[in-house]
Chain A
Amino acid sequence: MEFNKNVLYMNSENEVERIIGFIRNNVVERKKEGLVIGLSGGIDSALVSALCVRALGKEKVFGLVLPEKESNPVSRDYAEIHAKALGIRYEVNEITRELEAFGAYEKRDSIIMDLYPEYLPDKHRIKITLPGNILEKDGLNFFSLTIDDGKKVLFFERLKKHQINGIFAATDLKQRTRMMHLYYNAERMNRLVCGTTNRPETLQGYFVKCGDGGVDMEPIAHLYKTQVYQLSRHLGIPPEIIDRQPSPDTFNSQVGDEEFFFRMPYDKVDMFLYAWEHGIDMEEICNVMDLSKSQVERVLRDLTSKFRSTKHLRELPPSLLACR
């Protein structure tokens, strides 16, 4: 099996055509009148919405921008700029009130205050990260909490399992609330909800069940992030969106996907995933990526464990129906 730095390169025009066909078929087969898509201001949703417009025409694509008080303000701006450039109809629907009604911020903050009683939700910023670059150091996937005041770090500590569960349970409400609005709009207009999850996210379970993972179709779930970049340049996505650091945009202190989840830059994630999926042998991975055996082993272990622990997210819920 071939493995080199160019292995992820595709013929852009052919791939665009293939995806467009896929989108069109699904909408037609399911007798729907179009698509609803959440625009985050990031590259994935920018690319998917551009592909949808190519597939169906701009009248059949409806964009929804769903910011909340902790979103990066730039995200909303970029989402709107992009929607206007595509010429699609879109709405901005703030979800802060719902998150407050649920107590999403409060519940998360109370866990943080148990750890750091001086925490001031209105003044301080927080983020959650995994240990640094996995190529440089080992260490299991323990999440840490960082609190800063915009200038200096006030608090940094590894979180216990029940603390991280509590924090994610609260912050996942952001993705789930967005899902509800996407479906409300899709159902009232008899449309499908289009997802924006890419291949590394899909395979590693970097999405929220019944949140950004709860959609009707995923037109770029087969694309590595490198390929998302390639197609985005091909379709002329605005450079400021392409050049943004990929981020979950869930915490008010900006944190990238690398720090938060993958523990390496996307180009490396892609290459490793490709090698792992295609069973490339160790020696070749080491050669092509110029890394030691122990580094590669560490990464492959991490990929495998994330893949396994999130397997149920990619499957239908089990029932006893099959064993009738």
Chain B
Amino acid sequence: MTKKPLSPDLLRIDAQDEAARIENWVLDMVGKRFRKKGAVIGLSGGVDSSVCAAICVKALGAERIIGIFTPERECKEETNELGRLIADHLGITAIREDITELLKASGCYERRDDGIRMSVPEFQRGWGSKVVLPNILESDRLNISNIVVRDLDGNEIRQRMNTRSYLQVVAASNFKQRTRKMMEYYHADRLNYAVIGTPNKLEYDLGFFVKNGDGSADLKPIAHLYKTQVYQLGRHYGLPDIVLNRAPTTDTYSLPQSQEEFYFSLPYYHMDIALFAYHNGYTPLELSTYLSITPEQAERIYRDIESKRRMVQYLQSPPLILP
């Protein structure tokens, strides 16, 4: 059988059918397999968590869903507003838990700042910061990340990070995702609800999540969907335009940061095609033609996918045990 040429059409799903299939599955998992009374979802204001919430509302009923916002002092205000908007739109109960004090107590901010100072010694508390990975199209050197800091006058410094500095900054920042998950489990355990994980296929397959943080959940209803398919479902559920039109962000660092900068190197709709091409036996040449990049760049993307998938085995596997 000849392969069809790469195109976004290959990822198109029948949103109606797929939504129904997932809804049935969620009902089955939550009700029968886990015997839970409802579901808890962390709402980030992004399309993934919003679609998951919409699925659960359809599957279980709005009265059995709790949405949780977990703002902290470095979150964009917009994120909270969007989370609230979605909760209202879907008619679900929303609980707001500001996790700033928890993050202060665990040393998240302080330890992160110490990590930044390993690269930028003049860095001061209150300055903005973010980690930026090199763009895979421009370079193969995956290990060299940059830190961008901005002082109170708006002056930016961009500095290459050494390994220890990078590891410390990421390790400390991960308190955020883990604290959020802890909060979700607190409410789920208290109510005898299940925790819904919201990674899409790009994130799930390529390990763009934190172990025991956003990577943990009782079930993951959209882990098999490419990001463009998640948007398709979002339109099917009639989610507000402002959610559907928003650029994906990590919302982990105080300076605005897109997912491309931090992990994927490509906009999500291209990353979708790249991952689809990788999984379905398209050559780097075919990918390069579609994306209008050089074959070398396409090869680099494949190598990057492969190395990320090796990492994923570590992130996804339950603890190893001896027979």
List 21 A–B pairs whose Cβ atoms lie within 8 Å, in order of A's numbering: A22-B322, A100-B105, A101-B105, A169-B189, A172-B185, A172-B189, A177-B106, A179-B212, A180-B106, A180-B212, A183-B171, A183-B211, A184-B174, A184-B175, A210-B181, A210-B182, A210-B185, A214-B212, A320-B25, A320-B224, A321-B204
Q: Which of A248-299 contact B (CB under 8 A)?
A: none
| Segment touching A, from B87-95, B133-141, B246-254, B312-320 | B312-320
Structural contact, A210 and B216, CB atoms closer than 8 A: yes
Q: Is A190 an interface residue (CB 8 A)?
A: yes
- Is A176 located at the chain interface by the 8 A CB criterion? yes
Stretch in contact with the other chain, from A54-62, A71-79, A218-226: A218-226
Query: A118 on the interface (CB 8 Å rule)?
Result: no
What are the 7 tightest A-B residue pairs by CB atom distance, in nearest-first order?
A187-B171, A169-B189, A319-B223, A169-B190, A188-B171, A221-B321, A98-B105
Do B219 and A318 have beta carbons less than 8 Å apart?
Answer: yes
- Chain B residues whose C-beta falls within 8 Å of the C-beta of A30 in the assembled complex: 314
Interface residues as binary, B177-195 with A (CB distance below 8 Å gives 1, 0 otherwise): 0110110011111111000
A169 B187 Cβ-Cβ under 8 A: yes
Residue of B nearest to A102 (CB): B102
Complex Cα distance A81/B105, Å? 27
Chain B, residue nearest A172 (CB): B189
Given contacts A19-B322, A180-B106, A214-B212, 16 further A-B contacts (CB under 8 A): A97-B105, A102-B102, A165-B190, A169-B186, A170-B190, A187-B171, A190-B167, A210-B181, A215-B319, A222-B322, A312-B34, A317-B218, A318-B33, A318-B219, A320-B25, A321-B201
**Do A98 and B319 touch across chains, with their CB atoms under 8 A apart?**
no
- Contact between B321 and A101, CB atoms less than 8 A apart: no
Specify which of A181, A312, A320 is in contact with B22 (CB 8 Å cutoff): A320
> Looking at the complex, which one of B187, B188, B216, B223 makes contact with A321 (CB distance below 8 Å)?
B223
Residues of A307-324 contacting chain B, CB below 8 A: 312, 314-321, 324
Of A26, A315, A319, the most chain B CB neighbours within 10 A belong to A319
What is the CB-to-nearest-CB distance from B110 to chain A, in angstroms, rounded to a whole number? 12
Of B102, B172, B192, most A-chain CB atoms within 10 Å: B102
A277 to chain B, nearest CB (A): 13
The reply to whether A209 and B185 contact each other, CB–CB distance below 8 Å, is yes
Q: Which residues of B contact A216 (CB under 8 A)?
A: 314, 319-320
CA distance A188 to B170 in the complex (A): 8
Contact B170 A219 (CB under 8 A): no
Chain B residues whose C-beta falls within 8 Å of the C-beta of A173 in the assembled complex: 182, 186
| B83 interfacial contact with A, CB 8 Å | no
B212–A184 CB distance below 8 A: no
**B interface: dominant SS:** helix
B185-229 interface mask toward A, CB cutoff 8 Å, 1 = contact, 0 = none? 111111110000100010010000001100011111101100000
Given A19-B322, A173-B186, A180 contacting B178 (CB threshold 8 A): yes
A189 to B55, CA, bound (A): 40
Interface residues of A (CB under 8 A from B): 18-19, 22, 26, 30, 97-98, 100-102, 161-162, 165-166, 168-170, 172-173, 176-177, 179-181, 183-190, 195, 197, 202, 209-210, 213-219, 221-222, 312, 314-321, 324
Q: How far is the CA of A222 from the CA of B73 in the complex (A)?
A: 44
B111 within 8 A of A: yes
Q: Which residues of B contact A18 (CB under 8 A)?
A: 322
Closest B-chain residue to A195, C-beta based? B319
**Would B316 and A316 count as touching, CB distance under 8 A?**
yes
Query: Which chain B residues border A319 with CB–CB below 8 Å?
Result: 204, 219-221, 223-224
Q: Which of chain B's residues 272-323 have a Cβ closer than 8 Å to chain A?
A: 314, 316-323
- Closest residue of chain A to B21 (Cβ to Cβ) is A320
Q: B314 to chain A: which residues have CB within 8 Å?
A: 30, 216
Most buried by A among B21, B170, B174: B174
* Contact status B224-A312, CB under 8 Å: no
Task: Point out the residues of chain B lying under 8 angstroms from A188, CB to CB.
Answer: 111, 115, 164, 167-168, 171-172
Q: Which single member of A195, A214, A215, A219 contacts B322 (CB below 8 Å)? A: A219
Q: Knowing A176-B185, A219-B322 are in contact, say whether A214-B216 is a contact too (CB < 8 A).
A: yes
B178 and A183 form a contact (CB under 8 A): yes
Task: Give bound CA distance, A195 to B318, whole Å.
Answer: 11
User: Nearest Cβ distance between residue B182 and chain A, in whole angstroms?
Assistant: 5
Query: For the complex, is B29 an interface residue (Cβ under 8 Å from A)?
Result: yes
Bound Cα distance from A218 to B320, whole angstroms: 6
- Give the docked Cα–Cα distance between A165 and B106 (Å): 25
B277 to chain A minimum Cβ distance, whole angstroms, is 16
| Cβ contacts under 8 Å, B318 to chain A | 314-316
Would you give the shortest CB distance from B263 to chain A, in whole angstroms?
A: 16
Provide the residues of chain B in CB contact with A221, threshold 8 Å. 319, 321-322
A282 smallest CB distance to B (angstroms) = 27
Judge whether B101 is part of the interface by a CB distance below 8 angstroms.
Answer: yes
Residues of B within 8 A of A215 (CB): 319
Residue contact A187 to B170, C-beta cutoff 8 Å: yes
Give the CA-CA distance A186 to B33 in the complex, in Å.
33
Question: Is B104 an interface position by the 8 A CB rule?
Answer: yes
Does B171 contact A320, Cβ atoms closer than 8 Å? no
Q: Which residues of A contact B101 (CB under 8 A)?
A: 101
Residues of chain B within 8 A (CB-CB) of A324 are: 224
